[in-house]
Every structure is written in C-alpha cells, then in structure tokens.
Structure 1
C-alpha cells in the first residue's frame, strides 16, 4: 500500500530505508533510456532464473518503458507543516463523508457479508477505501512493471523494488490480472486499496469466489482484501479505534507514547510499555473529551499525541495498532478513524 500523500510517504520510506544505498553511490549513476533498457534485460534474465516462464516474462515486459516521472515524483515530494486542525478538514471533508455514506448504502450487502466473514466493521473498510483511492477513482495509471523496473533501475532502493517486481510477476503468473491491466501509482501501489505487490500476495482475497483476486475492478474483492489485512494483523470488531480525551493539568506525559519512536518496532515497544487499563487512565485523571468519566470496560489503551503534547490527546485501543500497521502515521490513522466515526450511524 502506498499513496502520494505526505503521511503515506512517511510510512513508505520508514519501511524501506534499510534498502537504500549511499548518496555517494547513487550520485555516480547516470540514468538514461539506453541504460534502462540494458537493465531491463538483466531483470528479465533474473526472472527466468527465478522460475518464471519465458511467455510470462515476454508479456509482462512487452510494453515496459522508462518512467522519468516516477523518478521525479520519488525524488521531489513536497513537504509542508500540518496539524490535525488543517489536515482533517481536507482528508475528512463533508463531501467525502457524504460519499462514504452513499457507498455504504450502495454496497451494503457486500460490506455486511465481508464484515461478518472477517470480523471487521464495514465503516472502517469504507473509510480505508475512501482515503486510499477516493473509492476507487484515483488508483494510478502507471504500468506497474514499468514503474517498479524504473525505480529499481534508479538504484536508491533497488533491493526493495526488485522484490516488489518479483511479486508483481507472481501476481501475473497466478492470473489475477493481465499485464496491460496491472495499473498503479508511480511507486507500484495497486488497485482501490493501493496494495504494493508484496501486500497483495499476503492479504488480497477472492471475495466473490471467482478464482481471482481483483483489487482493480471488483469491489467485493477490494472489501475482502481490506478486511483480510486488518483481521490478519489483529483487528477486533468488538471495540473501536480510539477516543479523544481531556487531560488533567498535572498529567504525567511520560505515560504516553513518545511522538517520535523511530519505526514500527520501537513504536510497538513503546505501546506495550505504556498501555494501561481504562480504570488506570481514569485514576490518572484522564476523562472523555466532554469531561465525563471513561467507560467502565475491561480493555487497555495507550495515549497518543499526533501533534505533540500541545495538541489533541487520544486513548488508542488495539485496533489503532492495526491501522498503524497499515500505515505508520498518526495523521493517516486519525483520518481513518474520524471518517469511520462520521459514517457510523449512516441510516
């Protein structure tokens, strides 16, 4: 999964930073059409050695081209300072909420079936669908094999993109999509749920039982794939994601997860170290956002501050960890949660 937003980029580069080569090495590499074509020949040879058939390789690389725009997008991604107060109104706008409600009604039967099968509330499926691809309307128009080959050739994360290319060939070999129809973002993220090829192989699902996992055109497969992903990383449909809370004036901020933990592994360690029962948070002076006592239920939560200690405070439940697995970004997770909450009582 990967989109071009600032928050999505944070997850992407955190996840693959270990595959980077040194800037000095990269600076020495001169990129050209001729060099790319030569590089593609090595990719095709490696694919053959990996066991892919010559026919598959020929069809997969038949229309391969050097995408300079992908390299430009990868190298020149604009950053800007945002807070939840500026981010949420754009990402979870009224029109998107209304569209999500419309989609909930339109696909009610599919969503209920998938939600029951996987144990994931449909509103979270729709929220992820809406935020990843605007309900399938913005999925990218790059040939995935071309995009992945281009970024592998560029060299900064060659190991990562070659692995994704191999997985893309596996998807084609399994017959889920044709090479010409395998479209995605400039980074190779595919379909309505913007799965990278590795995520497709791990989590994509055949929702309607037709033998294919089609996240490009089949909404039932899209919904089932989103639900399978969440369930696979521990989703619990008996609880929600988080709640915004009030803190006492003397709150001990060491009880919260630090703002910057340095990757998913450290973030999970911080979660485990700081999570407490709602009863303990109540004793620590934490209250609902409206000032009332916290619910008297036997569950644990961790405290997160997406904008730091001066910003909003959330008690995050275990499902929050699942959404952070999808995208290690406080802003993205908060937008998913808020959109899901706003469509919760859709008539």
Structure 2
C-alpha cells in the first residue's frame, strides 16, 4: 500500500504522460519552453486570477512574494505555528521577523483570535511593523478568509496565501490560490497537483506585482536576458515539469479532485465514532493533501502508528513540533501566545494513506485496523 499512490497515477496517465515528455525531448527546449506559458495560462484560469507565474518550488514562491512586497528587517510577518518550516523560514530569510500564531483544532488552520492578539501585542511593543499574514491552507482546507481579511484590512496587512497543500480546495465559489493578495502553491510530487520533481507557482491579480515576480524569478531580468535591473534569483519551472503538470492538471480537473474527496468522505463516515476526523465547514471543499486524524493523546497516536506499520500500512506525522519549538527559532519572541492547540495537535495527529487511486480494499483495511486498535465496535 502506498501513502500517496504516485505509481498508480503514472500507470493510469502513462500514455499521455509519455507523449508529453517525448515532445519536450524531441524539441530539446528544456528551459522556458512553450509548455511553461501554456501551463501558466491554464493554472490562472483554473484558480480564477489574472496571473500565474511558475517557479522552481513552493519555497521560492513564498520568497518571491515577500521580495515583491519588499518585506525585510523591521517587518512582522504572522505565521501559523502548526505548518511546514518553509512558511516561516522564508520570512526569516528575507530579514523579517516571523511571529507565530496558534491554530484551530477542528480545521488545523490559523486561529483569527490568536492572530489578532499577536498583532496587537506587536503594535503595543512598538519595535516591528505588522506587514503580512502567511495564511496556510493546511492539509487541503482553505482557512477562514472572511475573518482573516477583516483583520488584514483593519491593520493594513497583506495576505500571503500559502496554498501548497490546498490546490483544488474552495470556499463559496472561490478556489485556493485566489484568496491572497499574492498566493502560492507547490508542485512537490505528493501535493494535490504535483510534478515529477520540484516546482511551484505564484498567483495574483495585480499587474505590477506580476511584472516584478517575473523579473525576480530570472535574476532580476529587465528587457532582455543580460539586462538585470534588480537583484533577483534563479527559479524557473523546467519545461518537462510543465508538460507533466499539464497532463496531471487535466486529470485533476476531470476526476482526481472528486475521487479524493470521495475517499476522504468514506474515512470520515467510518472513523468519526472512534477518532477525531477533519472538519470541513459548510460551503468549503478540501484539496486533501493529507487526511489527518487526531487520537486522544501521544501514546495512543504512537501506538496506532506502530500497529499500522506492523500491518504494512504507511502513515505520517504532520507535524511533530510547532514552529516556535524549532531549533532555528529558539529564543524567538512569542508575544504572550502559548500555542496550546498547536502543541496538543503535534502529539495527537496522524495522516492516513490517501489518493484518488486508493482502492476500496486498501481503504477498508486501514479503517478496520484503526477501529480494532481504538476498540471501536465492528
């Protein structure tokens, strides 16, 4: 059994995938081939924004957004405590200060109340200027953008949507990638829409920012290859990866998103009486990067994971520690926040095998083992 069955996906998509890759090999245009621009147009249309700028990976996508806004020393950027390291790493890399915010147990996403307390604490201290909130659509579910936008408007902050896990997710008719002033995604292979290596993209409706993003991703390029008008970086999506993503995007739109939601619904229905299952608020759709359950405590979580492993069922812990507990952020200012929810979740969370291609037989095995181990009725 595979945790995210990329092997089965390739078997299903083999013919169009091989053809797409062969076209790149035959043309030998490996950097900035026509497939890249074609993919950007398709992604922008799918997400529902004017501009999509592809890049080398999801971490670079976050960095490019921060560079575009000129974020740096003296700026406070608010980041959920329960997320992958790059959400905060990129902030520190630009010289700004990441300020961590607790999350909600039911959705795993940023807690607006914790965010507002942190913003007020930063303002009261008077050393930093609140500039950006990095809002992560964790495990596939869009965050509470209605409340977060009000806070952004009140305090004059940008929303940087980290949609690396959320591609395909939606809320009230809008898709992940359209909620931020600038939004990003990752095409890491295990993401909802992944390539066969690293890749990423940035989304925005702002024409000026789009032009800056295109420049920054290619060494601060101006009018020509050797006209460098600003200090940038080298972060381009390879043509082969763009070709791969075009094939995968079609499958994602046609059936994968629907199928992964069907698989998730089965988990929810058959596990809700024995573990805490993810909550999908009314009007929301998840892209389901992971299906993460919560056990009663760390001992129960670790015991279940070991039991599943004995039965050749893979599982993962996303994430074993919060951002404020990372060695790299030791000694950071916490502004009075205690991160009780984040710390609690880190000890209880467990992600189960999930894929549009997960067979009913394999899923029922996972469910049976969890019910057995937790003592639930058959």
TM-score under structure 1 length normalisation: 0.27
Would you tell me which structure has more strand in proportion to its own residues?
Answer: 2
Would you tell me which structure has more helix in proportion to its own residues?
Answer: 1
TM-score under structure 2 length normalisation: 0.25
